[in-house]
Every structure is written in C-alpha cells, then in structure tokens.
Homo-oligomer: A and B are copies of this chain.
Amino acid sequence: MGVKDRRARQKTLLRQQILDAARDLLVRDGYEKLSMRRVAERIDYSPTAIYLHFTDRQDLVFSLCDETFAKLVHELETLAQEFPDPLVRLRKGCERYIAFGLNHPDHYLPAFVLPPPPDLDPTRKQESMSAESNGLKALGCLRDCIADGVRARKLRKVDPEVAARATWAAIHGITSLLITHKGFPWGERKAVIAATIDAVVDGLRRR
C-alpha cells in the first residue's frame, strides 16, 4: 500500500504549497487582493486545481487563519504559567491578544471582522466554527482566567462565561477598529489600548 501513501503525501504537499503561496499573498498584498487565480498563478497551476484541496475560497482563507491563530492560543496558554496571578494574567492576555491582531491584520480580518459569506448548505456550518475553533480556545483561556480570578476573590462574582464574552467583545472592538480605521485620528494608540484594557479589567476587579 506504499503507492496510496505516496499519492497522499504528494497531495498534502501541493496543499501546503497552496497554503504557503496564499499566505504570502495575504501578508504581502492584503486580504482583498488574495484571489484564487493569483494563488494559482503563483504556484503554476490552473485556478481550478485549488478546488481539489479546498472547497472554497473561504475554506482556503480559514485554513490559513486557523494555522495562524494556533500560535495565539499557544501564547495565551503559556501565559497561565508565566503569570500565576489571574489579574495580571488577564491584563497580559488582553495585551497579547490586541498586539497579535495588530501584527496579523490580514489574518484577523477574515477570521473575526468580516462577516462569513452566507453558508447555503448547512452541512458545513461547522467549518466556519472550526475556523474559529482556535478563537474559541482563546476565549476558553479568557474564561478560565476570569474563573480563577473570581475563585481567588480578586474579581467580582460574575459568570465567567458571559464576562469572558464581554471582555472579548471589548478587546476585539479596539483591535478591529485600529486595523480597519487606520486613518482615524486615534491620537496615541497605546493610550487608547491601555484605556480599553483598564476599563474592562477595572470593571471586573473586586472593590
């Protein structure tokens, strides 16, 4: 059965080739310039060849983003050992999340900012979720951190699940706005980032 193996290897090889080319285009020219045809041209295949490895443009982009956000969840997970105090961990986590988004704007955009195109067939509604699966993991980190905080009586007695979602909303807000509205007169970016983090953390802190 070595032959089927080799086939499979070659197949995943081309798949990786596609992903590499796509990521290159994504970070170089931005999200809206990432087209099937350009990817295909770059790897010297016909555009339709991509559809043998990805069902959609959406599928391709999500695979890309998922790969990238795996790094973020890794960062966030290591954070737990790095900063045992849940309060400072919460701060650091928010900081890293925002920094990560700003460092990978063209991944952050399709993953969290842009509305996913209407999924006509509900069979693969999972996928758009699984593309956020790492996003979900990140949200899980946040919830655990908050849960730790309330256990340690450093945070108010809130439902960690909804508090995590609210916190995520806030830091997503500043991240997405800074990405999409670069021209806006933000003043000192660090100041508004700090203010946002301050607000959510102070809002949760026990008094």
Residue ranges of A at the interface with B (Cβ–Cβ < 8 Å): 30, 32, 109, 112-118, 125, 128-129, 132, 158-159, 161-163, 165-174, 176-177, 179-181, 183-184, 186-188, 191-192, 195-196, 198-204, 207
Contact = CB atoms under 8 A, between A and B. Distances in A.
A69 B202 CA distance: 31
A166 B161 contact: no
A203 B196 CA distance: 9
A132 B163 CA distance: 30
The number of times this chain is found in the oligomer is 2
A202 to B, nearest CB: 4
The DSSP consensus for interface residues of chain A is helix
A198 B166 CA distance: 9
A192 B165 contact: yes
7 contacts: A116-B180, A116-B181, A129-B183, A132-B184, A162-B188, A176-B176, A199-B200
A196 B169 contact: yes
A178 to B, nearest CB: 8
Given A125-B183, A162-B187, 20 more contacts: A32-B117, A112-B181, A113-B113, A113-B176, A113-B180, A158-B195, A162-B191, A162-B195, A165-B187, A166-B199, A168-B173, A168-B177, A169-B192, A170-B174, A172-B176, A173-B176, A199-B204, A200-B200, A202-B203, A203-B203
A196 B170 contact: yes
Contact of A203 (B173, B180, B192, B198): B198
Contact of A200 (B129, B159, B203): B203
Most B C-beta atoms less than 10 A away, residue of A32, A115, A167:
A115
Nearest to A201: B203
Contacts of A166: 174, 192, 195-196, 198-199
A167 B170 CA distance: 8
Contact of A114 (B112, B180, B202): B180
